[in-house]
Amino acid sequence: MERTLVKSCCGGSGYVLILDWPISKTNLKTFTDSGYATSETYTKAGVFYIVRQGLTASGPYGGTKLQVRCGGTANCNLLMDHLENTFRMIEIPT
């Protein structure tokens, strides 16, 4: 898993999280069990989407890249660490 900081307009920034395996709808349960909220609308549209304490992560199911925003939250690094640790709890497909 790789975390890359990206700059955006107006002095903002976000991250791209590159996974070692493609994200799947079956992964959502791990995130909801860890306190993340999801959206049925995004899920039906084929988009992985989770929110927790101002952190938002999204990307297409079957993809390995997620766009992550912290919404100006001061503890963005802590939220990113928690997100990465939650991904590590998911059994990697072989």
What is the mean pLDDT for each group of 10 consecutive residues in the chain (94 residues)?
78 83 92 95 96 94 94 80 92 60
DSSP 61: T
pLDDT at 10: 65
pLDDT at 77: 87
DSSP 20: S
